[in-house]
Chains A and B, each alone.
Chain A
Amino acid sequence: MKLAYYPGCSLKGTSFEYEVSLLKILEAMDIEVKEIPDWNCCGASAAHSINHNLSIALPARNLAIAEKDGFESVLAPCAACSNRLKNADYELKRDDILKKKITNSLEMPYDSQMSINNMLEFLIGVVGKDKIKSMVKKPLTGLKAASYYGCLLVRPPKVMQFDDPENPVTMDELVSLTGAEPVDYSYKTECCGAINSLSKPDVVMALTGKVLYDAKNHGADVVVVACPLCHSNLDVRQKEIERKYEEKIGLPVLFITELLGLSFGITPKDLAIDGHMVAADRVLKKIEELSK
């Protein structure tokens, strides 16, 4: 099967670590993905916030290109992008009139047959647990990792069709595969407020703070995410949150691809873990020690 890859803007910018680590582990597993040629921004939350049709049309272009190029399945590692792509696909399936308008505008047909995968779906569904398990060279035994799903991976369930929206487990399963111990805590699926990250920093810090403190209180060494926006809030704003609430957190935030990469024995540097704002040194050291 030809696998299309839709990186999205964040992976080419602030969350470049995600792309680096992702491509690294795919390479290690000998899985090939092809970037959708000339892809465009999915419109993110801005489009659906103020222009419904645009929020369908922009992702639709990417889907239509992928379809034209003979892809049947697309990987969108960014949770927001996968959310928008799935949403566009859903709306095009249920609204024939809009579909006609959009395909006319794009001057491309779209058959609505594309299977759209977020990072976790891709890893579990397309790659498969067995394959991942076979790749683990350096089990992260003893590391406590809190999976943070946020909103966009699981909600709304009727569109996302992925995992249990109230109690998702896919990322925890992947964490277990690496040998690390999943941490159960209460804010797994609470929102970090990403949509208003720049416009309402105070609100965002309040939401993100709750997630980080709760994960820490439940003994997490590290938070694991599969979304560049979650990562930005949890990682980039962590220092600021510590200042605001006057309590140290110091929780490194890793992409699930990075965690997998570490367990595959790939070096932190190759996974661009040094690109994070919150240094992961202590955790990496712990991993080294535990593996001895």
Chain B
Amino acid sequence: MEDMNVEKEKQKEGTASANTGSQSDPRLIAFVCNWCTYNGADLAGTSRMKYSDNVRVIKLPCTGRIDPLFIVEAFKKGAKGVLVSGCHPGDCHYTSGNYHSRRKYATFRDLLGYLGVDLNRVEFSWISASEGNKWVAVINEFTDKIKSLPDKTTDIFTKK
């Protein structure tokens, strides 16, 4: 909670009124499934928990629909961090969407790392509809982590 207050102070001091997408105020994009994580995020809301406002959520039916292409596109459009989140293994609303995607993510992530993308910038999580607190923790930690990265993150997505 204290961190949150400090965060708030910082934001007030800052001149930016909107999330600028800079390294100090990074834009995060979260691709979440409709059934678990989106509901988990809603629960954080109905529980009036507070968390970093750097994140923008894009809702999809299932982690099975969340394509690595989306991650690439988000980085291309200036996101400093991309989160993918869905139902825990075994809880997929569509039985196996998260299992199939998990394989793809594990591989894609290796490939990104090998090609020089800082893997601190891509995060995956399983957040259930009852884990509002986990959503808050994941978003806050991820935001902090991204902010702590060196400014000069050049990688294959950046135009030189």
Chain A directly contacts chain B within the complex, with at least one CB pair under 8 Å: no
